[in-house]
Amino acid sequence: MRAVDRRAFLPAGQRRWADQDRPLSIGHGQTNSQPSTVAAMLRLLDVPRGARVLDVGSGSGWTTTILARLVGPDGEVLGLEREPELAHRGATALAAADVPWAAIEQAAGGVLGRPGERYDRILVSAAADALPRSLVEQLLPGGRMVVPVRHTMTLVVRDAGGTVRTSEHGTYSFVPLVEDPPA
């Protein structure tokens, strides 16, 4: 996390607080999560080099860039953001970070993630009301997903045989996970 300066991913008016361990507004009712929360999520996610990672709710692009550093150039990271302006700003900040194996795109309306595609790791940076089954289905055998469910940090592990297990890891505050109606 030290290798990715949070300032570069914040609106100008928020940059003076970048070193503080607190969420910071990035507009559109969304936040750049506080660093200690991101660190806790990444520890649970346990991202290996070369992994294929989905970052749902990529917001400012900060976590997408951190994930790209973790997977390295043999990996792949896709950040999805529902808010068009944030997706554009996040993609611009990500491009400046020189990690071409990562991208941020606007999320498709009415879907979470990319149904039909599979990932080694999935990070969700918004609180779901219930475990998002559509994202569980996108998790490869041996994969892990970290998602706040009703603000409880939940680790989802799909074992090599396809069995899914969940465990809870503390309470955190997140903006709500929004599923837009289909376009």
Catalytic residues: 33
Tokens of 111: 């879907």
**Torsion, Cα of 49, 91, 24, 138 (10° steps):** -50
Strands 52-56 and 76-81: parallel
Task: Tell me which amino acid residue 32 is.
Answer: N
Tokens of 1: 């996390």
The Cα 120–Cα 150 span in angstroms is: 24
The Cα 168–Cα 76 span in angstroms is: 27
